[in-house]
């Protein structure tokens, strides 16, 4: 079904997202059939009415059970660590693929980095055609161009090489190659009928984790809106997270992508459909990012920091792939679509603002986040103290890695807040935010992020 106008998809998105995000492919659960308690979640940690005493998050889980239970999506074979790219070649050979469309961006092609992938494929007798037209914040047009090249060359699988933009563009090509139509037809949750053409995602940022997720974010250029395509049939077959491919990332890119990963972990952790499985992934991701991001930014050649950030973004991806996200992403997608701004930077600026909003609903969750961030015991003695400390620590980390303090510095215009807020509330990523927002709430959050707040002196980390 083709979506033409901004408004026409809102109802379909709301019903499909509640059904698909929560219960997974093929399980039709309408939001209206779920217990009200599921959406009126106050806190994961304090089990109202439970006979079990409240404990740390995840040990006393208290979501009302959804009919049909919860889904955990992890179908990708993930190859991790130095040397993973070479292992991927052996697997590709065993799967019998013959000719790859390599989807990448202009920088990765011009810098010569893509040559390594071409060589690795050639070493196992696989031919390759390079499409280097995936731009940061990839567009519907990029998908069409990649698809045309794939068809004219008779490629039987796709290799994406780069960051989230290359992977998402590749997924877009793979979806349309297998299902026909245009990428716009697949906006929403589990819309496609056929699995996409196989994608091997070779990741070079840490990051989006798009190499393992069922998310594909493509800009609809006619509306300047980033479409969220959430579909288990667009999960890559093989993912490669080899930190040696991330060493040359400049400091600003390392910072932005690292803050994106932190946002995935925090949003997944406070999501209304998190489970103890996604919580475990999210908390460890927060711990690794809090420990290693500053070093990865300050010294890109530090292999331990690169390796740990590669695992951290993977864990954050494993968390949000099933628990989904929240308003930070729903709002950041609008900034990316409207102004073509870097995704991670938008997230970093919005993260403390949206978490301040959320902390009014689920304050005790921030005790766990404070602990994962390594904040001292005095900063997490109660929920109010912990929430405040977490906001300060996020702002402190952003500042230390050189993220701009507010949306004003990014060139965002207050006169656009109305339309940005309206579109944010239609983005599937916002449906699992723990505190529902009104249009006015979202405008207020954009305004707060526009003005920005200076980071306070960072709290000492716990020993
Ligand atoms: N599908 C998902 O699950 C998901 C999740 C979050 C974000 N996203 C999307 O991903 C996109 C952002 O991806 P990203 O942040 O990874 O960046 P990116 O893919 O847009 O790349 C940004 C720039 O960094 C360069 N680059 C990439 N790797 C490099 C390396 N190792 N060394 C030097 N330069 C390198 C690229 O050439 C490009 O110019 C956005 O469109 C966002 O919406 C997708
Ligand atoms: Fe993201």
Query: How many angstroms is it from 49 CA to the middle of ligand 1?
Result: 45
Sheet holding 127-131, edge to edge: 77-80, 238-241, 199-203, 157-162, 99-103, 127-131
Q: Is residue 336 part of a domain?
A: yes
pLDDT (average), residues 122-147? 97
Answer yes or no: do 312 and 408 share one domain. Answer: yes
Answer yes or no: do 266 and 213 share one domain. Answer: no
Instruction: Say how far apart CA 439 and CA 432 lie, in whole Å.
Output: 16
pLDDT at position 76 is: 86
Closest ligand 1 atom to the C-alpha of 214? 3
Pocket test for ligand 1, best of 110, 167, 208, 337 (most atoms within 8 A of CB): 208
Higher-pLDDT residue of 213 and 54 is: 213
Lowest mean pLDDT among 41-55, 71-85, 88-102, 263-277: 41-55
Q: Is the CA virtual torsion 109, 111, 117, 120 positive or negative?
A: positive
Final residue belonging to a domain, choices 245, 277, 303? 245
Confidence of residue 54 (pLDDT cuts 50, 70, 90): low
Answer yes or no: do 288 and 349 share one domain. Answer: yes
Please give the residue range of the domain that contains residue 310: 251-451
Answer yes or no: do 368 and 418 share one domain. Answer: yes
Pocket test for ligand 1, best of 134, 135, 137, 162 (most atoms within 8 A of CB): 162
pLDDT (average), residues 108-119? 96
Is the Cβ atom of 344 under 6 angstroms away from ligand 1? yes
pLDDT in tens, 231-279: 999 999 999 999 999 999 999 999 999 999 999 999 999 999 898 899 9
Answer yes or no: do 235 and 264 share one domain. Answer: no
Return mean pLDDT, the chain.
87
Query: How many angstroms is it from 410 CA to the middle of ligand 1?
Result: 18
Specify the CATH number for the domain of residue 122: 3.40.50.1970
Q: Beta partners for 200?
A: 159, 238
The number of folded domains in the chain is: 2
Query: How many angstroms is it from 344 CA to the middle of ligand 2?
Result: 7
Is the Cβ atom of 110 under 6 angstroms away from ligand 1? no
Is the Cβ atom of 217 under 6 angstroms away from ligand 1? yes
Is the per-residue pLDDT at 146 higher than 70?
Answer: yes
Longest Cα separation, the chain: 64
Confidence of residue 61 (pLDDT cuts 50, 70, 90): low
pLDDT at position 210 is: 98
pLDDT in tens, 176-195: 999 999 999 999 999 999 99
pLDDT in tens, 368-399: 999 999 999 999 999 999 999 999 999 999 99
pLDDT at position 55 is: 56
Contact 161, 204 (CB under 8 A): yes
Answer yes or no: do 298 and 186 share one domain. Answer: no
Q: Is residue 312 part of a domain?
A: yes
Q: Beta partners for 77?
A: 238
Query: How many angstroms is it from 342 CA to the middle of ligand 1?
Result: 8
Q: Is residue 2 part of a domain?
A: no
Query: What are the structure tokens assigned to 417, written together?
Result: 């807040």
Q: Is residue 105 part of a domain?
A: yes
Contact 134, 108 (CB under 8 A): no
Q: Is residue 7 part of a domain?
A: no
Contact 44, 362 (CB under 8 A): yes
Alpha helices in 360-413 (DSSP H): 365-372, 383-400
Is the per-residue pLDDT at 57 higher than 60?
Answer: no
Final residue belonging to a domain, choices 230, 245, 260? 245
pLDDT at position 452 is: 83
Final residue belonging to a domain, choices 245, 262, 296? 245
Answer yes or no: do 269 and 140 share one domain. Answer: no
Answer yes or no: do 240 and 118 share one domain. Answer: yes
Closest ligand 1 atom to the C-alpha of 135? 20
pLDDT in tens, 19-41: 455 544 332 233 333 344 444 33
pLDDT at position 199 is: 98
Lowest mean pLDDT among 33-47, 95-109, 290-304: 33-47
Instruction: Say how far apart CA 284 and CA 81 lie, in whole Å.
Output: 18
Is the per-residue pLDDT at 138 higher than 50?
Answer: yes
Question: Using CB atoms within 10 A of its CB, is residue 382 exposed (0-12), middle (13-18) or buried (19+)?
Answer: exposed
Q: Measuring CA to CA, how many Å separate 235 from each of 99, 206, 436?
A: 20, 18, 29
Answer yes or no: do 233 and 281 share one domain. Answer: no
Instruction: Say how far apart CA 114 and CA 122 lie, in whole Å.
Output: 13
pLDDT at position 13 is: 35
Contact 240, 35 (CB under 8 A): no
Confidence of residue 74 (pLDDT cuts 50, 70, 90): confident
pLDDT at position 65 is: 65
pLDDT (average), residues 114-139? 97
Contact 335, 412 (CB under 8 A): yes
Higher-pLDDT residue of 393 and 73 is: 393
pLDDT in tens, 149-185: 999 999 999 999 999 999 999 999 999 999 999 999 9
Q: Is residue 28 part of a domain?
A: no
Confidence of residue 60 (pLDDT cuts 50, 70, 90): low
pLDDT in tens, 3-16: 222 222 332 233 33
Q: Is residue 41 part of a domain?
A: no
Q: How many helices (H) and strands (E) does the chain have?
A: 16, 9
């Amino acid at each position: 079904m083709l979506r033409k106008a901004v408004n026409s998809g809102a109802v379909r998105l709301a019903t499909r997202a509640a059904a698909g995000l929560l219960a997974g492919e093929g399980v039709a659960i309408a939001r209206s059939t779920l217990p009200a308690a599921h959406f009126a979640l106050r806190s994961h940690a304090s089990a109202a009415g439970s006979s079990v005493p409240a404990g740390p998050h995840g040990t006393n889980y208290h979501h009302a059970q959804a009919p049909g239970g919860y889904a955990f999506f992890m179908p990708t074979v993930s190859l991790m660590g130095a040397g993973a790219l070479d292992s991927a070649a052996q697997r590709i050979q065993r799967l019998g693929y013959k000719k790859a469309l390599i989807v990448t961006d202009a920088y990765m092609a011009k810098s010569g980095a893509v040559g390594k992938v071409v060589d690795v494929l050639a070493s196992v007798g696989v031919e390759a055609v390079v499409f280097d037209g995936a731009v940061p914040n990839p567009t519907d047009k990029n998908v069409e161009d990649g698809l045309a090249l794939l068809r004219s060359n008779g490629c039987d699988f796709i290799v994406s090489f780069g960051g989230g933009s290359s992977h998402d563009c590749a997924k877009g090509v793979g979806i349309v190659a297998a299902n026909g139509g245009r990428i716009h037809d697949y906006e929403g949750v589990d819309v496609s009928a056929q699995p996409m053409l196989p994608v091997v995602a070779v990741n070079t940022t840490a990051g989006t984790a798009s190499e393992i997720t069922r998310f594909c974010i493509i800009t609809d250029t006619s509306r300047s809106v980033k479409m969220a395509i959430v579909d288990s049939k667009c999960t890559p077959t093989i993912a490669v997270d080899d930190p040696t491919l991330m060493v040359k990332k400049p400091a600003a890119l390392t910072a932005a992508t690292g803050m994106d990963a932190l946002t995935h972990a925090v949003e997944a952790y406070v999501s209304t459909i998190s489970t103890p499985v996604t919580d475990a992934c999210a908390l460890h991701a927060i711990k690794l990012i809090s420990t290693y991001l500053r070093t990865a930014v300050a010294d890109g050649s530090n292999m331990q920091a690169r390796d740990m950030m590669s695992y951290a973004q993977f864990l954050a991806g494993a968390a949000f792939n099933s628990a989904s996200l929240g308003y930070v992403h729903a709002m950041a997608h609008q900034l990316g679509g409207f102004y073509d701004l870097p995704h991670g930077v938008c997230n970093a600026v919005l993260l403390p603002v949206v978490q301040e909003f959320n902390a009014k609903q689920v304050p005790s969750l921030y005790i766990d986040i404070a602990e994962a961030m390594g904040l001292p015991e005095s900063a997490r003695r109660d929920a109010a103290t912990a929430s405040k400390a977490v906001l300060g620590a996020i702002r402190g980390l952003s500042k230390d890695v050189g993220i701009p303090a507010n949306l004003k510095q990014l060139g965002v215009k207050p006169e656009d807040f109305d339309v940005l807020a309206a579109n944010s509330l239609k983005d599937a990523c916002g449906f699992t935010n723990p505190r529902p927002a009104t249009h006015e709430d979202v405008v207020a959050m954009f305004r707060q992020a526009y003005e920005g707040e200076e980071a306070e002196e960072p709290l000492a980390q716990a020993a």
